[in-house]
Structure 1
C-alpha cells in the first residue's frame, strides 16, 4: 500500500509557512525602518539602531523560512534552521510524522533521529502528510534493506 515515489530531484518545504514568515520579515523591516525615519526626535545613531534591530528580526524570520528537505538520486539533504545534513539513502531507516509531531523525524541507522523541519504540518497539514508519504515512498524505494 505504499505510495508511488515522486520523480527526483524533489524539494519539500513548508510553502505557506515560508510565505507567512518572509512576508512578516519584510513587513517588520519596512515598518520599523519607516518609523525610525519619521521620528524626528531620533538622532542618526538611534535611527541606525532601529534599522539594525529591524534587520535582525527580519533575518531571524528568513532563517526560519529556509528549512527544506531535498531528495535526489544519491540521498537526502536536510536543511534546518542553522544546520544542513546530507544523508545517503541507506542511512534512513524510517520517515515518521505522527499525530501531534511538529515536523517529520528521520530515524537513522546509527540509532538517532533527525528532525526534518522542511516537512511540517503547521499551516498546511494535508500537504505535510502528502510530503511525508512521498519521502517515505522514496526511502522505501531507494534504501537497501536486508530481507529475511
Structure 2
C-alpha cells in the first residue's frame, strides 16, 4: 500500500512551545516570589526600597511572561501569528511555505508579498520532536488550505 500523507489536524488548532512556556511561567513566579521575599526580609529598608524590590520583581516576571506569549492559531480562514510584541493575521493564500531548517530558532513563514515572517509559536529549543511535528502539521494545513494567488494580468 503506498504511503499517503497524514491528514492535517482538525481546525482550530493552536501551536505553542508548551515546555518552554511552562518553564518561563514557573521562572516568572519563582523570580517574583524570591525577589519580593528578599526585599521584605532585608532589615533596614524603608517602604520605598521595599517597593522597588517588588517593582523589579514585577518587571522581571513580566518580561518572562512576555517571552511565554508566542503561539500560532490556525482556523478555517487563516493563521494568527502571535510573537513577543506583535500579532499578525494571515489568510491561508498569503502563506507560501513553512520553513524549519536545522539550526533555525523557530519556524519562518514565506509570504506571498516576498517577505518572511518569524513564527515563534513553533520553536525547537526544549522540545525538538514536538516542534518538528508541529511544523509538519502547519505545513500540511498550508498545503491543504492555500491556493495560488491569481497572477496580475499582463498587458
Bin for the TM-score computed over the shorter chain: over 0.9
Query: Following superposition of structure 1 onto structure 2, how do residues 7-46 of structure 1 map, counting pairs within 5 Å?
Result: 7-46=10-49
* Structure 2 residue 95 is matched with structure 1 residue 92: yes
In structure 2, which of residues 128, 140, 143 is the aligned counterpart of residue 140 of structure 1? Answer: 143
- Report the 3-state secondary structure (helix = DSSP H, G, I; strand = E; otherwise coil) of the residue aligned with 1:134: helix
Given that 1:3 and 1:133 are in contact with CA atoms closer than 8 Å, whether structure 2 keeps it comes out as no
List structure 1 segments (4+ residues) > 6 angstroms apart after TM superposition.
none
Q: What residue ranges of structure 1 are gaps of 5+ in the alignment?
A: none
After superposition, the CA RMSD in angstroms is: 1.0
In structure 1, which of residues 49, 63, 66 is the aligned counterpart of residue 66 of structure 2? Answer: 63
Larger Rg: 2
TM-score w.r.t. structure 2 length? 0.92
C-alpha distance in structure 2 between counterparts of 1:133 and 1:43, whole Å = 55
Number of aligned positions between the proteins: 146
C-alpha distance in structure 1 between counterparts of 2:62 and 2:5, whole Å = 39
2:115 corresponds to which residue? Answer: 112
TM-score w.r.t. structure 1 length? 0.96
